[in-house]
Amino acid sequence: MAVASIIAGGASVVMAGARHVPTAAWFSSTGLGDLCRALLNLLLATIGFGTLGIAVGLIFRSAVAAIITGFAFLLPVEAIVTRIAPNTALWLPGQQLEAVASGGNGTESFGRDLLMSALYALLALVVSGWLMLSRDVTA
């Protein structure tokens, strides 16, 4: 994520210069503060998605099954469920992590989104730890 952020930041400065877009506000204290806050939010969401991915991988024991299940749940299933019942977005892990990545979703506070994401990550860590301890991983 850090490498992608550096590359994207450099490309945006180059493209802004090529298109004559003023970038003075980008490098002000407010602009740099916003950039750091956005990068921190993305880092937290990346850690959350990674933690959920590890848990799904340990549950299914198969890389293919874990990837398919993870993507199927986080992309189409959550999208369909939130379209049918919009209030469920407040409780689904992918929606909470997306809200953290974007700095809030506008319906609930950022603190609540962060807390829910942390609880899902903690639950994933507990389940992963229990699975690691209860399975014979040396065989």
Is 55 domain-assigned?
yes
pLDDT digits (tens, 9 = 90+) for 27-60: 999 999 999 999 999 999 999 999 999 999 989 9
Is 105 domain-assigned?
yes
DSSP code, position 133: H
Q: Which of 41, 69, 72 is nearest to 55 (CA)?
A: 69
What is the span of the domain harbouring residue 123?
42-134
Is 33 domain-assigned?
no
Is 72 domain-assigned?
yes
Taking the whole predicted model, whether its pTM rises above 0.95 is answered as: no
Is 25 domain-assigned?
no
Is 15 domain-assigned?
no
pLDDT digits (tens, 9 = 90+) for 101-121: 999 887 889 999 999 999 999
Overall domain count for the chain: 1
**The residue to which tokens 């880092």 are assigned:** 43
DSSP string of 78-114, one letter each residue: HHHHHHH-GGGGGT-HHHHHHHHHTT--SSS-HHHHH
